[in-house]
Amino acid sequence: MIKRSRYLFLVLVLTNLSVSAAFAQDTKDSSTTATPPADQKVLEGQIKADSVALTTHLKELTNSLHHLKRAAFDIFCETQRQDQVVAVQPDVIGPIILPAIPSPTGVLSMGALPPRKQWLDYFMNQVGQLLPMVDSEINALVMPKEMPDEGKQDLNQIRELARGMNPLAVDLDKVTEGPDLKADDIARSAMAFQDQVNKIEKSVKSLAKQAKVEEKKADKELKQLNKK
């Protein structure tokens, strides 16, 4: 049976290799001079089809990134739990005297609770399962031939940020593995990982906007060609 940290490490290695291979292939394809098709309708139809496919893949990627970010946020929340008691009238707990209704809610904080290992493992397993899904969905992104440079830059940025997610995931796995669980270290690592996912989401959103623009342009061109 593979230990959790070793399993995540293998996933990250495969993710890094896969995204790198996709980046190399995209660079190779972009350097090839394409022969323009004779039929303008075929060209515009292909651009529209590619734009629709790109939009579909970006929606799938956005969904996976949402769950990945949520898993990191859940890890962060696990470090923020507080031991609380409800006091509606004067009471005594050991040496502590609780005043009546200490706050508008009647809840008094007794200090921070330690992170629970079983929940950290659960959330980290989610991270380990989602990383290869994100990798696969990034590799499935195919740019329409007429995509402007801004869209190509967004895709390169997504791939670069995905590679940057790997060391952050390794660090998060390390600080949550135990046996010495330090809440501050876990919270800091979880937030760094979540911030990286946020950056990927921002680039995905920008690329999705470009894909929609190209889809509408191709659709408009097709309608004009059909009128001729």
Residue 148: the pLDDT is: 83
pLDDT bin (cut points 50, 70, 90) of residue 115 is very high
Burial (0-12, 13-18, 19+ Cβ within 10 Å), 109: exposed
Mean pLDDT of all residues in 58-86: 91
Distances (CA, A) of 110 to 82, 84, 97: 7, 5, 12
- Does residue 186 carry a pLDDT above 80? yes
Token pair 């899904």 is at which residue? 133
Strongest mean pLDDT among 5-9, 87-91, 189-193: 189-193
Query: What count of Cα atoms within 13 Å lies in the side-chain half-sphere of residue 102?
Result: 13
Residue 218: the pLDDT is: 72
Mean pLDDT of all residues in 96-117: 69
* Mean of the per-residue pLDDT values of the chain: 79
Per residue in 10-22, is it b (16+ CB within 10 Å) or e — as a string?
A: ebbeebbebbeeb
Token pair 């609780």 is at which residue? 98
- Run of H or E residues at 96: strand 96-98
Mean pLDDT of all residues in 144-162: 89
| DSSP-based three-state secondary structure for 93 | strand
- Does residue 2 carry a pLDDT above 60? no
User: Higher model confidence: residue 65 or residue 87?
Assistant: 65
User: Higher model confidence: residue 117 or residue 108?
Assistant: 117
What are phi and psi for residue 191, nearest 5 degrees? Answer: -70, -35
Q: How far apart are CA 2 and CA 178, in angstroms?
A: 16
pLDDT bin (cut points 50, 70, 90) of residue 30 is very low
Cβ 86 vs Cβ 106: under 8 Å: yes
- Does residue 213 carry a pLDDT above 80? yes
Please give the share of the chain, as a percent, with pLDDT higher than 90.
45
- Run of H or E residues at 218: helix 183-227
Query: Among 19-33, 63-77, 81-95, which stretch is predicted with the lowest mean pLDDT?
Result: 19-33
Mean pLDDT of all residues in 223-227: 69
Residue 178: the pLDDT is: 86
Residues with Cβ within 8 Å of residue 194, at least 6 apart in sequence: 69, 72, 73, 76
Token pair 């980290």 is at which residue? 124
DSSP class of residue 144 equals -
Every domain of the chain and the residues it spans: 18-26+41-79+116-227, 81-114
- Does residue 116 carry a pLDDT above 90? yes
- Does residue 11 carry a pLDDT above 90? no
Residues with Cβ within 8 Å of residue 146, at least 6 apart in sequence: 47, 214, 217, 218
The number of residues making up the chain comes to: 228
73-106 pLDDT, tens digit per residue, is 999 999 999 876 665 555 556 776 555 555 555 6
Burial (0-12, 13-18, 19+ Cβ within 10 Å), 119: middle
Cβ 204 vs Cβ 158: under 8 Å: yes
Q: How far apart are CA 71 and CA 145, in angstroms?
A: 36
pTM: 0.74
CATH T-level assignment (fold) for domain 18-26+41-79+116-227: Four Helix Bundle (Hemerythrin (Met), subunit A) (1.20.120)
